[in-house]
Chain A
């Protein structure tokens, strides 16, 4: 099953089991520009799955109002790049609703879905990773899945969580990432990072689409192509790298990360967003604070460059496998 279908199915489960639930956003009624709401309007009715006017601050504000009244609101922002008009509603309103009202009012039933990350040719406004802008917002949860199973389980978890959640879906994976997904309704826990590959020499942390580049990087490290093998000394090729999918950006699973780095002594963080003030900065700060005596090398960050996301040249902008492999070598040979 593809990610977009898994996401559609998660929403179908919610719509079936929760009569107050609603799905809305720009162009969701005909199935969505990424087909992730396909068939929902026909099955559950236009009153529950509907198009809104083209206005992101309105979509999120509207969702807050629904959630405030106890209804389950699944709002779609067509691209993460266009979530900024709703930044005020998310940061000043949704995230603070419970705190400022002394718990009298809350918008825990609000989930904001938005496609994110590079897609090959999306340029400045169809490629951005926006999770770091929400990481400093107490009261909010931010989730990024990496695959169809993760997308389905984490979306169900996000919708059922009693806090507002920004759910960012790597659009590169909508059709390309395919796996068997349980047809049943299931939930994956938020704020739990997942160790997807165990290892003892280095901790490699990422989330969303770049996780696939991380896995490719491990292959390069083990079997570097002839043309570049001189950059991979024999001593690093057998390195045992622990790969962690962070999954939830806020509140993030420091325990799993710190435990892993305390064990390996080395840490590389990979994300598509620009490096400066990216999520990697927060992770690096916590790792050095908690693992200072265990660290064998500086914490490294591989990310997009500190530029807008370019149209041509995406290959050289994004953290590609070889760039990640290079960082692994630098860390392992430090």
Chain B
């Protein structure tokens, strides 16, 4: 490449507007490269990137297609696949050898867990019906996954950072996110923390360390890796981890691979929590992957991995606690695959009977129900009874219906907020111009029945736009 002379007029235009004199580092010569350590210089075994690998000469012995879990002493059941960690059996009794000390939970916490688990189906049924009546546009339920979601939330500290997919609103409820904020998001009300801009159930709250949900699947996975790296470097946050939730379908996205590998190579304290509920909309897990679930991929990334019974809320809780402790002490990510079952439809836009039998769903609900298991655990200890069950359900129902009623009556955000927040700082001139254009259109056509009906739903009924009429530039 030849040296290109810079013409004078292209050169004389630095016009620095901010000068800081305190910084002279860049002017100093940098250390000579001959003194520097270079990765890969030191021999690490006979193959690059791997410290040890046995040589085989038999082609047949050299092929393999599975990852074997750690050899388990004396456990005859550890055949066939990666074992699943659980503490309770299908009816909520502790498994042989499991003691209350191993579960290590107080009555208060266990009851709070169950109460929160019971809140989810109440919200689900009421909002599901509200959607069916056209009162809200969209809804996704948590049926069947109450144990996985609340169990994991209970294993964390309220300041651990959450990157969720969309079926984990239970984590927010566990952290006492107000039911009013919940409903305001769903209804796109004026006081929605996210400004009424996203579809229902796309929650977010800085106060609850719950990063705003977005629809594109798996995008949060590499983001969680970056957030974990940031936590590690933040003074005062050394005791916190990032938890990143996603479904087994999302794990097929490229971002899953990206995030897992990045978290592992950057040694970031992240818990990747997969809800393997058997379906991605209509696609059964068997069409999603051929390996041993998602857990088998963990070791490929050099990641500590654990499979847990996702319908055993207590096992999930202790798995997450242990994962957090290892993520912090070993400064590395951990993968947890929670095996569960999506009892509800994928969303209100889906009728799952088109691809699976209602009977199969019913039998899952009966056979392995996270709520029943948790209830029996509590009842066995005298911490719960039928009266409490009925009272709680009634109370939850009342709370949810009342909050929904309040949210439904609230105004939507001011119309001008449509333009705000696209950028931080000054609004670019094209946006100002477009805002003025809408203001002008409202002045002319705001009285049309369709427009005026919608305008009336917004705070200030669109009057906030009037101030922008005159400001039209150019």
A261 CB, nearest partner CB in chain B, Å: 12
B387 CB, nearest partner CB in chain A, Å: 41
B51 CB, nearest partner CB in chain A, Å: 19
Cβ A42 vs Cβ B31 within 8 A: yes
Q: Please name all residues of chain A whose beta carbon is closer than 8 Å to the beta carbon of B257 when the two chains form the complex.
A: 55, 58
B381 in contact (CB, < 8 A): no
Question: What is the number of residues of chain A that contact chain B, defined by CB distance less than 8 Å?
Answer: 96
A120 in contact (CB, < 8 A): yes
Q: Considering the chains assembled together, what is the distance between the CA atoms of A188 and B18 in angstroms?
A: 8
Cβ A64 vs Cβ B10 within 8 A: no
Q: Please name all residues of chain A whose beta carbon is closer than 8 Å to the beta carbon of B431 when the two chains form the complex.
A: 138, 251
Q: Considering the chains assembled together, what is the distance between the CA atoms of A311 and B192 in angstroms?
A: 53
| A63-B23 contact, Cβ under 8 Å, with A92-B216, A176-B1 | no
Cβ A162 vs Cβ B425 within 8 A: yes
B258 in contact (CB, < 8 A): yes
B413 CB, nearest partner CB in chain A, Å: 9
User: Can you list, as one digit per residue, whether each of A157-180 has a CB less than 8 Å from chain B (1) or not (0)?
Assistant: 000011100000000110111110
| A185-B214 contact, Cβ under 8 Å, with A85-B254, A93-B223 | no
Question: What is the number of residues of chain B that contact chain A, defined by CB distance less than 8 Å?
Answer: 79
Cβ B421 vs Cβ A57 within 8 A: no
B19 in contact (CB, < 8 A): yes
| A189-B17 contact, Cβ under 8 Å, with A39-B30, A55-B261, A251-B428 | yes
| A147-B20 contact, Cβ under 8 Å, with A52-B262, A61-B223, A61-B258 | no
Closest to A17 in B: B23
B221 in contact (CB, < 8 A): yes
Closest to A12 in B: B26
| A172-B16 contact, Cβ under 8 Å, with A20-B233, A71-B233 | no
> Which of A64, A139, A187, A245 has a CB less than 8 Å from the CB of B223?
A64
> Which of B13, B230, B234 has a CB less than 8 Å from the CB of A149?
B13
A69 in contact (CB, < 8 A): yes
Cβ B3 vs Cβ A178 within 8 A: yes
A316 in contact (CB, < 8 A): no
User: Can you list, as one digit per residue, whether each of B411-445 has a CB less than 8 Å from chain A (1) or not (0)?
Assistant: 00000000001111100111100000000000000
Q: Which residues of A contact B (CB under 8 A)?
A: 8-9, 12-13, 16-17, 20, 22, 29-31, 38-39, 42-43, 47, 50, 52-53, 55, 57-71, 73, 85, 88-89, 92-93, 96-106, 108, 119-120, 138-139, 141, 146-147, 149-150, 153, 161-163, 172-173, 175-179, 181-189, 191, 194, 196-197, 211-212, 215, 243, 245, 251, 254-255, 258, 290
Top-10 shortest CB links A-B: A65-B226, A61-B222, A39-B30, A58-B258, A186-B16, A251-B428, A102-B195, A69-B230, A12-B26, A101-B212
18 contacts between A and B (CB under 8 A): A17-B23, A38-B30, A53-B265, A58-B261, A61-B226, A62-B266, A88-B219, A88-B255, A100-B214, A101-B194, A103-B421, A104-B204, A105-B206, A138-B431, A183-B24, A212-B10, A251-B429, A258-B474
